Structure 1
């Protein structure tokens, strides 16, 4: 039987995500260890990884709880860090397939890494690549969390493995081709949305985040950087 474009996209996403999934598994170990130390028990961290699937937000929430902060504060920190998914969702929404449940699944599996892997460099996103990459990352994150919860005493500090450097390096390698493209146009709800060249948007966002990081709570720099990029969008006829 001939391979369809959907099957090919799913296979490409599954292959492309492997290096990133390895790094995500390592971060899952770190999160499992931290969450257990924060008093979240053994079940809650794994359930949170399966249902929330947001590494930075989960780390922030666990850190707040470990420091003795309230659950509401932990939830607010996680929400602020996840606010970046609003513009990500806007860009990928026109390319999602199927009805409500299919789109809900794609939305749940849309994270920074799967979003970048699925980008085709022309303002388009391949939903099958997105699905495969997101599933690979989701499984790796859950298994890593489970490993950290169960074997944290044996593993020790996962940071000594150097995955804290490998993860951003891999993400940057995936992102670089997108930064070389010119102005993008995405259609959302019948409107053609244009944005500055990705490299310029990335530099502006990075500058804003760096300036705000020393003076604002966790999550605020990311929200501000994302907001600046969203404000830069302009409608086209």
Structure 2
């Protein structure tokens, strides 16, 4: 007799609707302009930390990752060791490597273009690119965001560095908080799961606890430990759930009905 099987309905995944190029450009310009203008705050802060205008502009041209740049000059301004400040900035910048792994397959760029595109792999370009419904929109969003942000960030960095002396007491303006504030505003909506929110909250707690105890630049490194700690905890919980789950399969007894038919469960 043929076995009776329960058929589960197939789940279909509806593709996301295509996005008009004008909408992609509008969203990309909005992010690029909003974040690019905060380069002025970086220019002022960097000069106030003891860097020259040339050094400040070189950082924006060659490093081009706002959070790491602010971490570097912030640690220097607080009297931190240059090597510690550089280590904190480098550690923050490593996140862009993980963005690149995801964007490489999504954008599908030629090998000759990838080294140049890698310079624009930052938080903002990644955020705009990853929400696009198709490759064409992803490439357009990445290019417009990267170009707009790179040009504005460097222009406003130069303006801030040159005009830093005209602002008087730079600490009173609180411009050193402008860049990180923009970064947090962009990051917060992306924290959709409880695990991500817990990791962010733990990082804040570690930072606040270590600030009065450790030299400038080191609290950033301590706060960064929140992510691997939470990931390890989640992995341990997942393995424990798998180990506690009862095994089913070949050892499960097969029940027959009165007619001799076999039910496949």
Q: Return the TM-score normalized by structure 2.
A: 0.63
Counterpart in the other structure of 2:65? 54
Deviations along 1:122-153, one digit per CA (max 9) or x if unpaired, are 79881331121111111121111101111113
Match of 1:167 among 179, 182, 186: 182
Match of 2:151 among 136, 139, 142: 139
Counterpart in the other structure of 1:207? 201
Aligned-partner Cα distance in 2 for 1:218–1:29: 23
Deviations along 1:98-128, one digit per CA (max 9) or x if unpaired, are 3334112222112111111112367988133
Gaps of 5+ in 2: 1-19, 211-218, 239-265
Q: Which has the higher contact order (CA 8 A, sep 6+)?
A: 2
Gaps of 5+ in 1: 1-7, 180-197
Mean CA deviation greater in 214-223 or 129-138: 214-223
Q: How many residues were matched structurally?
A: 204
- 8 Å CA contact retained: 2:53, 2:162: yes
Match of 2:115 among 81, 104, 109: 104
Change beyond 3 A, Cα 1:166–1:87: closer
Larger gyration radius, structure 1 or structure 2: 2
Mean CA deviation greater in 137-146 or 81-90: 81-90
Aligned-partner Cα distance in 2 for 1:77–1:170: 21
Change beyond 3 A, Cα 1:93–1:223: farther
Aligned-partner Cα distance in 2 for 1:159–1:120: 33
Counterpart in the other structure of 1:225? 227
Counterpart in the other structure of 1:32? 43
Aligned-partner Cα distance in 2 for 1:122–1:223: 33
Cα offset, 1:59, TM superposition:
1.3
The Cα RMSD (Å) is 3.4
User: Is 1:154 matched with 2:166?
Assistant: yes
Change beyond 3 A, Cα 1:65–1:164: closer
SS at match of 2:220: coil
SS at match of 1:99: coil
Aligned-partner Cα distance in 2 for 1:165–1:127: 27
SS at match of 2:53: coil
- 8 Å CA contact retained: 1:80, 1:223: no
